[in-house]
Structure 1
């Protein structure tokens, strides 16, 4: 059973789908046994590279990280789909551009599909890609790639008109052939209504427990990042503190001459 087939099977079961982001082989190998889908999100530009937004992420970055995650998934021996974000500026101009980018990502990474942001206005892009046999995950609601142009990250669906637009976006993505759709940064009632209206699985992030599944940025989930975090990002660990303590202990051992000790050195006979 392929990763996407397994995803569909789990989506039909009465249990929420579990998704996390990954950007490296070791992380993917560790996460794969516990999730239904790995997303190589363009959030890596911010959480790994320290970029101000996802708009600065390049196609080459997504190719490289996508391939790394696929290798990690394969090393884990787990059949789950790896989906790679299409970067800002690589698909919006035309259907032809979108298809060219999707093909390049799949060819370079070996991933199972791509994700792009936008609803009704991106429906023809999704259709062009799916018609070519490439799986597409949609993304509606708060769109991080557009946030800098909108003056920041703004919650969607706060008005009846806003909910109507979100429903139109969700239906357009579904009708264009997407196998699933991420709903991000909406009021809970809007996400629940969209989930009820669609037949494809909805994956929430800052949306609603009523969605068909949930996704988080793994670095948020692990508590790796410094500074302000989104309201929806629950930290299951605070690894930034563990990393700091480990580095402190290492530095101490080196400075007092305790590391490397004999246990960490190669010994040979003297001639």
Structure 2
């Protein structure tokens, strides 16, 4: 899809995503955290943009997603929303801003929606956060769920390996997916689980299921933008397809600039006033 074409398409809504699932049209989703990158991703024709708490890793350099704050997520979301004309913008509610306290969950979601202009929020967990999900939905805020590998719970799991391979965990994940659907979530992310289980979940619920490391038999896919563009190259999980090598392109460009400055080749006469 060209940039010219994408600007003439109507804005993606939760209803359109539901229709896409019904007609078996795959849903595309990527992360973005700033105005410039979000504008490029939106112009390319992406369906959804996730302002992920992965900003904690790729933008701030933290080891996990846990340190990022609600204020920082709102800052990133506001920057993204300013650039977007078509995509549905979903924002992660960060760790500590919704778990265990439905009133705080509602306050966090409302702040994100009011201050950033985003279209929906995303939360990690199933039955254990049901009360928070219901409370957020009661205010008319669309909620996307997230099951499987949930990075905000990394210290509980102790590892980033594939989740729900054991029968009891797989059974709970399927039950949690149904709980989130019954609560009213408009979509669900499944991260790093067996493809066969992801297929079962996608068939068992009527809401769109977006996979990351969850195989092909779901309703759409999401990747972290910096990973798929090759900006961050130390992270190479099995599920990642790298579509560009931007890091080395940038290294060469900056190196060429330094060389030209040192040799007094830049700026030349045509580049001077």
Q: Secondary structure at the match of 2:143?
A: strand
Match of 2:12 in 1: 3
Q: Secondary structure at the match of 1:226?
A: coil
- In the aligned structure 1, how far is the partner of 2:22 from the partner of 2:39? 25
Does residue 260 (structure 1) correspond to residue 270 (structure 2)? The answer is: no
**8 Å Cα contact 1:147-1:154 kept in structure 2:** no
- In the aligned structure 2, how far is the partner of 1:264 from the partner of 1:128? 59
Long gaps (5+) in structure 2: 1-9
Match of 2:37 in 1: 27
Q: Deviations over 1:206-262 (max 9, x none)?
A: 112001100000001101013232221110111111011111110110000011123
In the TM superposition, 1:49-68 aligns within 5 A as 49-68=60-79
Shift >2 Å, 4+ stretches: 5-14, 262-265
Q: CA deviation at 1:71?
A: 0.6
Does residue 16 (structure 1) correspond to residue 26 (structure 2)? The answer is: yes
Does residue 45 (structure 1) correspond to residue 37 (structure 2)? The answer is: no
Does residue 93 (structure 1) correspond to residue 100 (structure 2)? The answer is: yes
- In the aligned structure 2, how far is the partner of 1:226 from the partner of 1:51? 16
**8 Å Cα contact 1:188-1:207 kept in structure 2:** yes
Does residue 82 (structure 1) correspond to residue 89 (structure 2)? The answer is: yes
Q: CA deviation at 1:118?
A: 0.3
In the TM superposition, 1:1-271 aligns within 5 A as 2-4=11-13, 5-33=15-43, 34-73=45-84, 77-78=85-86, 80-265=87-272, 267=273
Q: Secondary structure at the match of 1:56?
A: coil
**8 Å Cα contact 1:53-1:148 kept in structure 2:** no
- In the aligned structure 2, how far is the partner of 1:11 from the partner of 1:111? 22
Long gaps (5+) in structure 1: none
- In the aligned structure 2, how far is the partner of 1:102 from the partner of 1:182? 18
Change (3 A) 1:2 1:253: closer
Q: Secondary structure at the match of 1:9?
A: helix
Q: CA deviation at 1:2?
A: 4.9
User: Considering only aligned residues, what root-mean-square deviation do their CA atoms show, in Å?
Assistant: 1.3
- In the aligned structure 1, how far is the partner of 2:37 from the partner of 2:22? 27
- In the aligned structure 1, how far is the partner of 2:88 from the partner of 2:134? 20
